[in-house]
Amino acid sequence: MRKKISRITVLAVLLLAAAGFVIFNGQDRNVMASSEKVVNVKVVDAKPAPTFNGIAYIAGHGGHLAIIDMRTMKSPTDIEKDRIVLTEAGSEMEGKIAGMSFEQVKKAGGSHGQALIHEKGDKVLVAGTLNGDVYKVDLKTGKKEGPFKVGEKFCGAIVGPDGKIYFEDMADGNVYVWDSNTLKTVDKMPVGKAVCGIQWTKGAKKAYITDMPTGIVYVYDWKTKKKIKEITSPEMTFIHQARMTPDGKYLWVSAPNEFDPGLKPGTHKSQVIIIDTKTDEIVKRLVLPDNIRPHDFAFTKDGKYALLSSRTYGDDSKLVVMDRKTDDIVETVSACASCHQKYGIQVKIDKGSPLLCGIEVDWHPGSK
């Protein structure tokens, strides 16, 4: 009888131990899964609303850049003074995307991203469009040069560590490197399906490149130009541009998630995905309200505020200001509807929704 009880006891202990092992490992997996801090972002009424010493230039599918004076944070309303016209309207979800052919673009592309450079003491915007053209605009004189044919369908335009302009192509997945002095393409780097943004760590040791329809952030050794990692997440189904925080510690990735894999209707929340550049792991997700779909970011020099160029997929797109200490949205500024309504302009592409894209800020002396 004792032997029988002993066997039963041993069996029970083994079963409990096995159950404990499963529970422990399940808890461990949960800890690992919850290592990504998730924040449901709130919209708060900041008083007074923050202002900044700079001018924001935000590209849009209408073929022009909206201009927002952040010293007043007033919406643009003057069709002559509050925008820079580059080309005709166009949509990113037309024509060629990731090597696939969709409905053909009926007009000449739409603006999508721009980079601020200095030439002979003057400030110049170098802007890419949705048909692969590049323009240069002198901000002092308003003089426009171009178009210069470079790629097929541009998303971001970023000044690289070598001073060249890097354009990410959504049609062929290449990163094009363009010299603004010689007006020539000096390099081309195949990366993904439909790339949208590129950023570098300090010292240009690594580069991060976002691939829009696959939701992948590629990590490259910039010296060898070899891929060293792919960062993925079920919460990154359709992504756009990315920006490095001023201290270089974190990469912010726009994940509005308009689509699920295979360009199916999106079922995930709009988010900002934050990656630790030391570990190349996702450490934080900012879950946004449904009417805030970020495309690109800028940061104040002190890193206290993030500026999001954001789509509502309604009758407007907005400049959204986020306090990085609290992760609260403390200000939103209409960038499209305020001007469109005044002049009776109707958006006839993108299902009637004006869509903003890249943001570039001209910070004035003394800006924080």
CA pair distance 115, 142, nearest whole angstrom: 16
CATH number of the domain bearing residue 278: 2.130.10.10
How high is the pLDDT of residue 7?
42
| Greatest pairwise CA separation for the chain in angstroms | 100
Mean pLDDT value across residues 1-7: 40
| Residue that the structure tokens 């000096």 belong to | 186
In a domain, 223, yes or no: yes
Q: Please check whether residue 91 lies inside any domain of the structure.
A: yes
Q: In sequence order, what DSSP letters do the residues of 164-200 get, joined into one string?
A: -EEEEETTT-EEEEEETTTTEEEEEEE-SSSEEEEEE
CB-based contacts of 187, cutoff 8 Å, min separation 6: 164, 176, 177
Instruction: Pick the more confident residue, 63 or 295.
Output: 295
Cα separation, 271 vs 138, whole angstroms: 35
Query: pLDDT, tens digit, for every residue of 161-220?
Result: 999 999 999 999 999 999 999 999 999 999 999 999 999 999 999 999 999 999 999 999
Tokens, residue 320: 């959204």
Number of helices (H), then strands (E), belonging to the chain: the values are: 2, 29
Q: State residue 22's pLDDT score.
A: 33
Do the domain assignments include residue 163? yes
Closest among 114, 53, 74 to 331, alpha carbons compared: 74
SS3 content of the chain, % helix, strand, coil (to 5): 10, 45, 45
Q: Is residue 34 part of a domain?
A: no
Instruction: Give the C-alpha separation, 368 to 365, whole Å.
Output: 9
> What is the pLDDT averaged over residues 35-39?
93
Please tell me the pTM assigned to this model.
0.87
Percent of all residues in the chain with a pLDDT value above 70, rounded to a whole number: 86
Average pLDDT over residues 316-344: 93
Mean pLDDT along residues 258-281: 96
Residue 368's pLDDT band, with cuts at 50, 70 and 90, is confident
pLDDT for the residue 179: 98
Closest CA to 203 of 257, 174, 232, 244: 244
User: What pLDDT digit, counting tens, does each position of 271-315 carry?
Assistant: 999 999 999 999 999 999 999 999 999 999 999 999 999 999 999
Is position 254 within any domain?
A: yes
Indicate the number of domains in the chain. 1
Average of pLDDT values for 252-275? 96
Distance between CA atoms of 82 and 343, rounded to whole angstroms? 13
Look at residue 227 and tell me whether its pLDDT is greater than 50: yes
On the question of pLDDT at 26 being above 60, the answer is no
The label of the residue with tokens 């995930």 reads 268
Would you say residue 29 lies in a domain? no
| H or E, element range at 160 | none
Task: Indicate whether 13 belongs to any domain.
Answer: no
Cβ atoms within 10 A of the Cβ of 240, count?
Answer: 29
Q: Each residue of 101-139: pLDDT tens digit? A: 666 555 557 899 999 999 988 999 999 999 999 999 999
Structural domain of residue 326, as residue ranges? 46-363
State mean pLDDT over 58-85: 93
For residues 260 and 241, what is the distance between their CA atoms, to the nearest angstrom? 17
- Cβ count within 10 A of residue 180: 19
What is the structure's pLDDT at 100?
60
Higher pLDDT, 156 or 47: 156
- DSSP-derived 3-state class of residue 204: helix
Please name the helix (run of DSSP H) or strand (run of DSSP E) that holds residue 116, with its range, or none: strand 111-119
Residue 277: which residues within 8 A CB-CB, separation 6 or more? 201, 206, 208, 244, 248, 249, 250, 251
> Can you give the pLDDT at residue 16?
37
Of the listed ranges 94-103, 187-196, 231-240, the least confidently predicted one is: 94-103
User: Is there a domain that residue 349 lies in?
Assistant: yes
Mean pLDDT score of the chain: 88
Confidence of residue 23 (pLDDT cuts 50, 70, 90): very low
Q: How confident is the model at residue 84 (pLDDT cuts 50, 70, 90)?
A: very high
More confident residue, 209 or 15: 209
* pLDDT score for 101: 64
